[in-house]
Amino acid sequence: MSAIVAIVGRPNVGKSTLFNRLIQRREAIVDAVSGVTRDRHYGKSDWNGKEFSVIDTGGYVIGSDDVFEKEIDKQVELAIDEADAIIFMVDVETGVTGMDEDVAKLLRKVKKPVFLAINKVDNAKRAEDAVEFYSLGLGEYYTLSSINGGGTGDLLDALVKEL
């Protein structure tokens, strides 16, 4: 069985954008009827010849902030149980939020590889802003612009080394 990589993080940071990019080459499935890409949450990917499965968490979260928080806790716990490695995604446009801090607190206890991925780093100014995420206490991070693919290669290089 191939290793499992879970993408966790609060809503709107760009988890599904990264997920779709990772599985695109092999598994993008366009619905024959509607013509739109189906919303998938599990997919296969590979990098440098290493195959792995990817879980996009949080696809069904709706409701109040309270519901969000509970749901995110559940996702993270599931990821901790089932995944071999975790991509924790945050968003430099919004900056560090309370929810990010809560997730970081859970992940700091995890004995599995955790990759802090700061998304929406679309330009050099935002790369400077990314330093504020050191406050999460997770150490080094990877900056991404998932919307155009920036930074994903460095993240994947590091990730597959741990699988």
113 binds, among ligand GDP, Mg ion, none (CB under 5 to 8 A by kind): none
From 24-32, 47-55, 68-76, 142-150, give the range in contact with ligand GDP by CB under 6 A: 142-150
From candidates 27, 46, 69, 122, binder to ligand GDP by CB under 6 A:
122
53 assigned binding-site residue: no
Interacting residues with Mg ion between 6 and 65 (CB under 5 A): 15-16
| DSSP code per residue over the chain | --EEEEEE-STTSSHHHHHHHHHHHHH--B-TTT-SB---SEEEEEETTEEEEEEE--TT--S-HHHHHHHHHHHHHHHHHH-SEEEEEEETTT---HHHHHHHHHHTT--S-EEEEEE---SHHHHHHGGGGGGGS---EEE-BTTTTBTHHHHHHHHHHT-
Residue among 12 and 123 whose Cβ is closer to Mg ion: 12
From candidates 5, 6, 8, 14, binder to ligand GDP by CB under 6 A:
14
98 assigned binding-site residue: no
Of 62, 26, 22, nearest in space to 151 by CA: 22
- Binding pattern for the stretch 81-120 against ligand GDP, x by CB under 6 A and - elsewhere: --------------------------------------xx
14 assigned binding-site residue: yes
From candidates 11, 73, 138, 158, binder to ligand GDP by CB under 6 A:
11
Q: Residues interacting with ligand GDP, by CB under 6 A?
A: 9, 11-17, 119-120, 122, 145-147
